[in-house]
């Protein structure tokens, strides 16, 4: 079977024209899986990153990912690189960076923990997953969603509960313009950055030695021009 990458919103249906038009947008997903029991580094399946280094999505093996400072301003120098916050004995951060088309509508955020998180030393005071357009510090407010894995413990294995505030639900309707596309000849010239931050807070913390996490985002890519007579007639989007 062949494989190709399609640029632009994906639509499907039976009837493209008329009052019974049933064409709709296809939902897309990006996923990532990290495993703290993996002892080898960058380029290994399940690689969970390290202090100051998050990993990429949809990768087998997992690779180091680049974090950028979110900005909707155009710059001939391109996007500004950034580095996730380094670990301390009171905060450990690991995460995944995904890139989405701008103005994507986030439908669902899924956080799975098949194996409970284990730290080689110290005491947990709070473990959370934050979903935002940048890294989120412990007890911070992410742009899109959050999941409280545990307070004084590492939580319970399984699919975790994800919480959305009213503001976050509104933010999910259209992801922000965060990164200038290095190939500015393409359209759009900006991308959205989606950052999953696993925030482990506590005291006298050492390194994570076990724990598996799966991160999945479901989203739609919309085309605001479909159906406008100035761009192309309603229904003509071959």
Q: Tell me the pTM.
A: 0.89
Burial 186-209 (b: 16+ CB within 10 A, else e): eeeebbbbbbbbbbbbbeebeebe
pLDDT digits (tens, 9 = 90+) for 53-91: 999 987 778 999 999 999 888 777 778 999 999 999 999
Q: Tell me the residue ranges of DSSP E strands in 5-134.
A: 11-12, 24-25, 28-35, 55-56, 67-68, 81-82, 91-101, 105-119, 123-132
Q: How far is the C-alpha of 76 from the C-alpha of 85, rounded, in Å?
A: 27
pLDDT for the residue 216: 97
- Strand 145-150 versus strand 158-159 pairing type: unpaired
Q: How far is the C-alpha of 66 from the C-alpha of 83, rounded, in Å?
A: 8
pLDDT for the residue 237: 47
Burial class of residue 33, CB neighbours in 10 A (0-12, 13-18, 19+)? buried
pLDDT digits (tens, 9 = 90+) for 224-237: 666 555 544 555 54
**Is 55 within 8 Å of 63 (Cβ atoms)?**
yes
Average pLDDT, the chain: 87
pLDDT digits (tens, 9 = 90+) for 183-233: 655 555 889 999 999 999 999 999 899 999 999 999 999 876 665 555 445
pLDDT for the residue 116: 93
pLDDT digits (tens, 9 = 90+) for 89-137: 999 999 999 999 999 999 999 999 999 999 888 888 999 999 999 999 9
Average pLDDT of the segment spanning 13-31: 85
Q: How far is CA 104 from the centre of its chain?
A: 12
Q: Which helix (H) or strand (E) holds 216?
A: strand 208-220
pLDDT bracket for residue 22 (50, 70, 90): confident
Q: What percent of the chain has pLDDT over 90?
A: 64
Q: What percent of the chain has pLDDT over 70?
A: 88
pLDDT for the residue 122: 87
Residue appearing with tokens 């380094």: 86
Structure letter (DSSP) for residue 64:
B
């Amino acid at each position: 079977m062949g494989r190709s990458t399609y640029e632009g919103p994906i639509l499907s249906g039976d009837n493209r024209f008329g009052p019974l038009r049933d064409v709709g947008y296809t939902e897309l997903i990006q996923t990532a899986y990290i495993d703290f029991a993996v002892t080898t580094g960058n380029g290994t399946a399940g690689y969970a990153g390290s202090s100051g280094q998050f990993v990429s999505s949809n990768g087998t093996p997992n690779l180091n990912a680049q974090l950028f400072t979110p900005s909707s301003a155009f710059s001939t120098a391109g996007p500004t690189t950034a580095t996730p916050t380094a670990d301390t004995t009171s905060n450990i951060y690991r995460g995944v960076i995904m890139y989405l088309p701008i103005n994507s509508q986030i439908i669902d955020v899924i956080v799975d923990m098949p194996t409970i998180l284990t730290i080689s030393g110290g005491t947990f005071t709070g473990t959370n997953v934050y979903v935002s357009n940048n890294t989120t510090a412990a007890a911070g407010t992410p742009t899109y969603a959050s999941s409280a894995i545990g307070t004084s413990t590492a939580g319970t294995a399984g699919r975790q509960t994800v919480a959305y505030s009213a503001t976050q639900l509104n933010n999910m309707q259209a992801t922000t313009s965060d990164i200038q596309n290095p190939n500015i000849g393409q359209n759009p010239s900006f991308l959205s950055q989606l950052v999953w931050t696993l925030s482990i807070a506590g005291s006298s913390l050492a390194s994570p030695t076990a724990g598996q996490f799966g991160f999945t985002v479901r989203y739609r890519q919309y085309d605001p021009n479909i159906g406008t007579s100035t761009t192309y007639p309603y229904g003509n989007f071959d």
